[in-house]
Amino acid sequence: MPTLAHKIRLDPTPDQIQYFKQASGTARFVWNWALDEWNRRYAAGQKPQAPALKKQFNALKYQQFPWLRNIHRDAHAQPFADLADAWLRFFTGQNDRPVFKKKGETSDSFYVANDKFQVADRRVKLPKIGWVRLRESLRFPGKILGARVVRDADQWFLSVPVSVPDSIYYRTRTGQGVEGVDVGVKTFATLSTGKKIVGPKAHRRALRRLKIRQRAITRKMQAAKTPIGLAPQDPLPQGIRLPRSRNWDKAKNHVARTHLRIAHLRQDFLHKTSTRLCRENQAVGIETLSVKGMMANHRLARSIADQGFGQFYALWQYKADRYGTQLIEADRWFPSSKLCSTPGCGYLKKDLTLKDRSWTCPGCGVTHDRDVNAAINLKGLATPTALPVATRPVRTATVPEHPDIGGKVTPARHEATPESLLSASGQEEVGAHHCAPIL
Ligand SMILES: [Zn+2]
């Protein structure tokens, strides 16, 4: 059965937050212990295995680390499985090599097995601390597979993967369209219909505010130097740690929260856009996006990270599966921008540069918008496979709809038609109009 995860904001009491921090610290400590042991055994020519390491740890843990008794055992058992998983991903080329986790540099989280907690309406009962309030109730029915308590900025979340029945997982499309989508840095996505979807560019717009808040941290850090006889600009001598003031911590939280809000704004946009493209189409032609390759270009790197292309493609693929939409990926070398999209023309403009936002085809005389032209060519790739045989049947007949499950999908803001783009002074302006202010 397919799995869906629901991440729900927690409303913990101060005591519960204290426990969350300790449990996350424990998970981090055990991970580091296991990784260290793993590396040692590997260097000694052995083949380390997670269960053996766990056994070794369990034999000594309560003598050597008596404080572990205060933390539920799942928090110190799971890192072994996590580490085994991380190595597997490393050896199959999906991840970088597992590294030691440093406090404040990796996100805090710990695991709870599915038989150790209980979700009831808008609260969850966790081991050692009892009931914690949830901001919303669990969205998916099905078998709960486990949970992780996760910190983002100064907020805590419960992430619950649920194995759901097919009738919940698979969704009904509302349309049978075939579309081509050109994803770009200037305009987030251009559709073959000519529609341009401008990304929220949340990060860039918040950058100014972020800078102000980051300066506040710097000021607090500099203020902490005066009592130990250093001038604000003096470098910190090695081995000296500045006393952390409460206001310094507050400033840090402020920045973290700004980052979190930016991430949420971006996520909201990516979710709505990817859902809409899958829900309305039976086939979508897309470009192969080598995010890594594009990130290597430093001038583009921030825009690409800002737009969240990697996340967008991941969401797209998983939603295409849920909606039975076919994503037809173009070949890496497919000249989507350079090919004339006029039916029957097929002229290839070899000297098209990245700067050319539009071009006139010498073959047929039509002037193309670069992105729309590319989107139409990508649509052309999707068409022969999409109609009429290759499509999966729409599921209305066999599977009942669950309008209450999966959340309401509202149309993405940040959308603009070519006309409104022309009437506005620029695309960024259009995005700014529709974008919620960053608080
Ligand atoms: Zn042409």
Last-in-domain residue among 149, 167, 185:
167
- Torsion of Cα atoms, 415 then 419 then 420 then 421, to 10°: 80
Say whether pLDDT at 387 is over 70. no
**Residues 118, 124: contact at Cβ < 8 Å?**
yes
Contacts of 33 (CB under 8 A, 6+ apart): 57
Residue 365 CA to ligand 1 centre (angstroms): 6
Q: How confident is the model at residue 302 (pLDDT cuts 50, 70, 90)?
A: low
Q: Please state, rounded to an integer, the average pLDDT across all residues of the chain.
A: 82
pLDDT in tens, 54-68: 999 999 999 999 889
C-beta neighbour count of 276 within 10 angstroms: 19
Residue that is last in its domain, among 167, 196, 226 = 167
Q: State residue 300's pLDDT score.
A: 59
Read off the pLDDT band of 293 (50, 70, 90).
low
Same domain, 342 and 193: yes
Same domain for 250 and 332, yes or no, is: yes
Q: Residue 329: what pLDDT?
A: 85
Apex CA 428: angle with CA 423 and CA 432, to 5°?
A: 95
Copy the structure tokens of residue 116. 């150790």
| Lowest-confidence segment of 154-168, 197-211, 267-281, 309-323 by average pLDDT | 197-211
Token pair 């909606």 is at which residue?
323
Lowest mean pLDDT among 168-182, 293-307, 315-329: 293-307
Query: Is the predicted pLDDT of residue 336 greater than 80, yes or no?
Result: yes
Tokens describing residue 11: 């409303």
Task: Report whether 328 contacts 381 (CB < 8 A).
Answer: yes
Distance (Å) from CA 373 to ligand 1 centroid: 10
Q: What single-letter amino acid sits at 111?
A: Y
In the reported structure, the alpha carbon of residue 194 is separated from the centroid of ligand 1 by a whole-number distance in angstroms of 17
Query: How far is Cα 329 from Cα 363, in angstroms, rounded to an integer?
Result: 27
- Residue 229 gets the label, from left (phi > 0), alpha (psi -120 to 50) or beta, of left
pLDDT tens for residues 25-50? 999 999 999 999 999 999 999 888 89
Q: Is residue 189 part of a domain?
A: yes
pLDDT at residue 385, as a whole number? 58
**336 inside domain:** yes
Rounded to the nearest angstrom, the distance between the alpha carbon of 334 and the centre of ligand 1 is 17
Domain membership of residue 172 (yes or no) is no
Laid out side by side, the sheet with 177-183 consists of 326-329, 281-286, 177-183, 189-191, 196-197, 415-416
Q: Please tell me whether residue 27 adopts helix, strand or coil conformation.
A: helix
389 CA distance to ligand 1 centroid (A)?
30
Examine the domain organization and report whether 126 and 208 are in the same domain: no
Judge if 226 and 158 occupy the same domain. no
CA 148 vs CA 114, 116, 129, 151, 280: distances in Å = 10, 12, 15, 10, 34
Provide the 8-state DSSP code for 339. Answer: B
User: Does residue 271 lie within any of the structural domains?
Assistant: yes
pLDDT surpasses 50 at 433: no
Residues 6+ apart with CB under 8 A from 343: none
CA–centroid distance, 180 to ligand 1, in Å, is 18
Task: Please report which confidence band the pLDDT of residue 148 belongs to, taking 50, 70 and 90 as the band edges.
Answer: very high
184 phi and psi angles, rounded to 5 deg = -145, 175
Residue that wins the pLDDT comparison between 123 and 405: 123
For residue 287, the CA-to-ligand 1 centroid distance in Å is 21
Question: pLDDT > 90: what percent of the chain?
Answer: 44
Query: In whole angstroms, what is the distance from residue 35 CA to residue 210 CA?
Result: 35
Over residues 355-359, mean pLDDT: 89
For residues 153 and 120, state if they share a domain. yes
Domain contains 202: yes
CB 219 within 8 A of CB 405: no
Residue 63 lies in a domain: yes
Whether the predicted pLDDT of 414 surpasses 70: no
pLDDT average, residue stretch 77-81: 93
Compare 424 and 181 and report the one with higher pLDDT. 181
Do 182 and 308 reside in the same domain of the chain? yes
340, 197: one domain: yes
d(CA 155, CA 141): 25
Q: Which pair of structure tokens corresponds to residue 337?
A: 């921008």
pLDDT tops 70 at residue 288: yes
CA of 371 to the centre of ligand 1 (A): 15
Res 421: pLDDT: 40
The pLDDT assigned to 138 comes to 93
Percent of the chain clearing pLDDT 70 (strictly above)? 82
For tokens 């085809």, what's the residue? 361
Instruction: Give the pair of three-digit tokens for residue 333.
Output: 């070398």
**Most confident region among 260-264, 307-311, 358-362, 402-406 by mean pLDDT:** 358-362
Mean pLDDT along residues 95-105: 88
* Domain extent at residue 107: 3-167
| Planar angle of CA 256, 262, 268, nearest 5 degrees | 135
Are 95 and 231 within one domain?
A: no
Give the total number of structural domains in the chain. Answer: 2
Contact criterion met (CB below 8 Å) for 180 and 383: no
Q: What pTM, to 2 d.p., does this model score?
A: 0.74
pLDDT at 295: 53
**Alpha helix ranges (H) inside 342-411:** 370-386
Residue 439 covered by a domain: no
Task: Answer yes or no: is 102 within a domain.
Answer: yes
**43 and 135 in one domain?**
yes
Last residue of a domain, which of 125, 145, 167?
167
pLDDT band (50, 70, 90) for residue 306: low
Is the pLDDT at 420 greater than 70? The verdict is no
370 CA distance to ligand 1 middle (Å): 13
Give pLDDT, residue 301.
60
CA of 356 to the centre of ligand 1 (A): 16
**Same domain (yes/no): 87, 190:** no
The arithmetic mean of pLDDT across residues 242-263, rounded, is: 86
**Tokens matching residue 384:** 């022969």
Predicted pLDDT of residue 428: 33
- Of 155, 109, 114, give the one whose Cα is nearest residue 135: 155
Instruction: Identify whether residues 331 and 273 lie together within a single domain.
Output: yes
pLDDT greater than 70 at residue 282? yes
Q: Could you read off the pLDDT of 175-189 as tens digits, one per residue?
A: 888 999 988 877 888
**Residue with tokens 């992430």, as numbered in its chain:** 159
Does residue 358 share a domain with residue 218?
yes
pLDDT at 158: 97
**CA of residue 330 to ligand 1 center, whole Å:** 20
